[in-house]
């Protein structure tokens, strides 16, 4: 069971009308956008990531998600974030989607960022500011 207490940072997410699919719940692919929003908001606000002009960017190289309960518009969600593994140039995030205020997750996922030089697309060491922010989530 994936519970709220297992996560260190939470990003509020408002579901949108078009998140629902023809079955009346948020489509599985939309969860990945929630994950991206939670991680990148944290990296920008806490780690100083410059998505527009920074020399280093993060590329997603692996991702997965398990689903436990449906969510649908107009649910208010919170995405929990923690770091499962922190390497020299990569990080594995572990995430969970909760309805606002609920203790058990509706979905749990993970993805790996490899940090690369924007100009060469070659892996680089995670910059100090980002590393410090990520270490707080281990």
For the stretch 35-52, pLDDT in tens is 999 999 999 999 999 999
- pLDDT at residue 87, as a whole number: 98
Round the average pLDDT of the chain to a whole number and report it.
97
In total, how many domains does the chain have? 1
What average pLDDT does this structure show over 57-85? Answer: 97
Assess whether the previous peptide bond of 74 is cis (omega < 30° from 0). Answer: yes
- Percent of the chain whose predicted confidence (pLDDT) is above 70: 100
pTM of the model: 0.95
Structure tokens at 45: 């606000």
CATH of the domain at 102: 3.10.129.10
Helix (H, G, I), strand (E, B) or coil at 47: helix
Domain that holds residue 44: 4-135
Cβ atoms of residues 25 and 19 within 8 Å: no
Classify burial at 93, counting beta carbons within 10 Å of its beta carbon; exposed 0-12, middle 13-18, buried 19 or more: buried
């Amino acid at each position: 069971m994936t519970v709220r207490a297992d996560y260190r940072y939470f990003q509020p997410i408002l579901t949108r009308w078009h998140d629902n699919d023809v079955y009346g719940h948020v489509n599985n692919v939309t969860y990945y956008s929630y994950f991206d929003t939670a991680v990148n908001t944290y990296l920008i606000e806490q780690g100083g990531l410059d998505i527009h002009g920074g020399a280093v960017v993060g590329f997603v190289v692996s991702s997965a998600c398990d689903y436990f309960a449906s969510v649908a518009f107009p649910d208010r969600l919170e995405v929990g974030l923690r770091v499962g593994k922190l390497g020299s140039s990569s990080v594995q995030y572990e995430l969970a989607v909760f309805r606002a205020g609920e203790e058990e997750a509706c979905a749990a996922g993970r993805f790996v960022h490899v940090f690369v030089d924007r100009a060469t697309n070659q892996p680089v060491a995670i910059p100090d500011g980002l590393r410090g922010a990520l270490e707080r989530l281990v």
